[in-house]
Amino acid sequence: MEVKQLNFNRHSIQGTIKVPGDKSISHRAIMFGAISSGKTIVRNFLFGADCLSTISCFRKLGVNIIQEDNEIVIYGEGWSGLKEPASVLDVGNSGTTTRLMLGILAGRPFHSVVIGDDSIAKRPMNRVVLPLRQMGAKINGRENGNYTPIAIQGSPLTSITYELPVASAQVKSCLLLAGLQANGETTIIEPAATRDHTEKMIQHFGGEISIRNNQISVQGNQQLTGTVVDVPGDISSAAFFMVAAAIMGNSEVKLENVGLNPTRTGIIDVLIKMGADISIEMNKDASYEPVGTITVRTSILKGIEISGDLIPRLIDELPIIALLATQAEGTTIIKNAEELKVKETNRIDAVARELSQLGANIVPTEDGMIITGKTTLHGGTVSSLGDHRIGMMLGVASLICKEKVILEDYEAVEVSYPNFFEDLQALLK
Ligand code: SPQ
C-alpha cells in the first residue's frame, strides 16, 4: 500500500484544464470496435487501469487492438472475430468491463472465464446473470453465478423484454449487447434514465435501436461497422475540479471538452441548486455526444436534497458531492442512493467514515447520507480504501483541511485518472 502526504498548502485553484477521456465511453468504444467489422479509431481514449483491462480482455479474445500515438485502433472482424480465449479474462477493478463483456460473451460459441480483483469479487453479478440466463446463456460462478470467477459457455440467445429492477446502465448495456446477437427483438424497461452511451454507440456504429420514453429495443442479429469515436472528457473526473473551485477561496477553473450528455450532468444540477457560481458553454461542433466548457468559481453554498431520478445522473459523483455538502450552509440529504453500497467500496460507509475522520458531520443512512455544514475540516490519516473516487475526493478535501492529510492507498486513482494529483497540483496557487 502506498501512502501520500497531501500538504498542498495553497489557497486557491485557478486555470484551465482538459480532463482525460470518459471512462464509460472509452470502454464501450473498445467493445463496439471489437464486435464491428472494419477499422475503428478511438481518439482521446482514457489510458486508465480499467479501460486498459478492457483492451487486454478483448486482445485475449483475438481482437487486433493497437496503440498509435495517443489513439487506439481496433481491427474488428465482426462478432465471429471473437475467439475462445486461451486464458482467463482479467477485468481488474472494472465493473463496467465485467458486466458489458458478459453480455457479449453470452452469445459467442465458446467457453471463457472472467476474474477480477478482490473488489470485483464482492460486486453482485446476478443483476446481469439472471436475465442473461433467461435469454439462454449458460453461466456459472461463485454463489450460483453472483460473484466472480464466472465461467460462460456461449450459446444461441433468445430475445426478452426485461424490466430492470435497479436503474443501472451496466445491466441495460449488457442486455443490449446480448440482444444485438439474439433472435428477435429485445426490450429493456428502465425505472429511471441511466447513462445512454451504449444506445448512442449502437447508432454510431451503424446499428438500429428504438428508444421510446423508458423503453429501449434492439433487433437481434445486427452487424455493426467500425468508425471513428471521439471520446469527450469525463464529467465524473471534471467533478473533482468543479467542487475544488466552488469550495476554495479566490478560485476559478475552466474545464474544456467535457462530455455534457444529459444522463451524466446531475452534478451540474446540484451545483446550481446549491447556489454555485457556474457557467456552461456548449461546443457547437461536438460529435455524437454533447461536449462543452464548464467554468466554476468560488461559491457560497446551501444544503439541498438529492434524490429520485437525479441519482442515476450523478451516481459516481456522490462522494465528491458529499464533500461539497460539508462546505454548504445547512443540511444536505442524499436519498435513494442504495446502489452506492455495491460500487468499488460501499461508498456510503467509505465516504462517511473517511470524511468524518477529517471532522465532517456526516450520518450514513440505509440509502444515502445526511451532511450538516458548514464544517471546518482538520487534518488526519485517511484511506482511499482502494476506491479511485474516494481517493480523489480525499485529495480535494485535503485542499481545505487546516492541517496535513496522509492519504493511504492513493494509487487507486489510476483506475480512472492516473495523473490526477499532478493535474491538481498544477492548478493550485
Ligand atoms: O466500472 P465500475 O467499476 O462499475 O465504475 C463506476 C465508477 O465509479 O467509475 C462505479 F463504481 O462507474 C459505473 C457507474 O456507477 C460505470 C457505468 C457504466 O459505464 O455503465 C455505470 C454506473 O454503474 P451502474 O451499476 O449504475 O450501471
pLDDT greater than 90 at residue 7: no
pLDDT greater than 70 at residue 228: yes
Percent of the chain predicted with pLDDT > 70? 99
pLDDT of res. 3: 80
pLDDT of res. 2: 75
Q: Is the CB of 187 inside a 6 Å radius of any atom of ligand 1? A: no
Which residue type occupies 228? V
pLDDT greater than 70 at residue 53: yes
Mean pLDDT of the chain: 97
| Whole-number Cα distances in Å, 158 to 107, 119, 173, 187, 219 | 10, 32, 16, 12, 11
Q: Averaged over 269-292, what is the pLDDT?
A: 94
Whole-number CA gyration radius for the chain: 21
Q: For residues 282 and 52, what is the distance between their CA atoms, to the nearest angstrom?
A: 30
Q: For residues 268 and 260, what is the distance between their CA atoms, to the nearest angstrom?
A: 10
Task: Tell me the pLDDT tens digit for each residue of 60-94.
Answer: 999 999 999 889 999 999 999 999 999 999 999 99
Q: How many of the other CB atoms lie within 10 Å of CB of 133?
A: 14
Q: For residues 401 and 116, what is the distance between their CA atoms, to the nearest angstrom?
A: 35
pLDDT greater than 80 at residue 10: no
Phi, psi of 238 (to 5 degrees): -60, -30
Specify the residue with its C-alpha closest to ligand 1, atom 4.
95
Q: Averaged over 255-270, what is the pLDDT?
A: 98
Q: Averaged over 392-415, what is the pLDDT?
A: 96
Atom of ligand 1 nearest to the CA of 27: 19
Q: Which residues, 6 or more positions from 271, have their beta carbon under 8 angstroms from its beta carbon?
A: 242, 246, 278, 296, 299, 324
Most informative mutation of 24, 26, 91, 96 for ligand 1 (most atoms within 8 A of CB): 96
- Give the helix/strand (H/E) hosting 222: none
Task: Tell me the pLDDT tens digit for each residue of 165-184.
Answer: 999 999 999 999 999 999 99
Task: Tell me the pLDDT tens digit for each residue of 12-40.
Answer: 999 999 999 999 999 999 999 999 999 99
Phi, psi of 380 (to 5 degrees): 150, 180
pLDDT greater than 80 at residue 243: yes
Task: Tell me the pLDDT tens digit for each residue of 319-374.
Answer: 999 999 999 999 999 999 999 999 999 999 999 999 999 999 999 999 999 999 99
Q: Averaged over 294-320, what is the pLDDT?
A: 98
Q: Is the CB of 96 inside a 6 Å radius of any atom of ligand 1? A: yes
pLDDT greater than 70 at residue 291: yes
| Catalytic annotation, residues | 316
- By DSSP bridging, strand 138-141 and strand 147-153 are antiparallel
Write down the residue that cell numbers 454533447 correspond to: 290
pLDDT of res. 9: 65
Domains of the chain (ranges; CATH) run 3-21+232-427 (3.65.10.10), 23-230 (3.65.10.10)
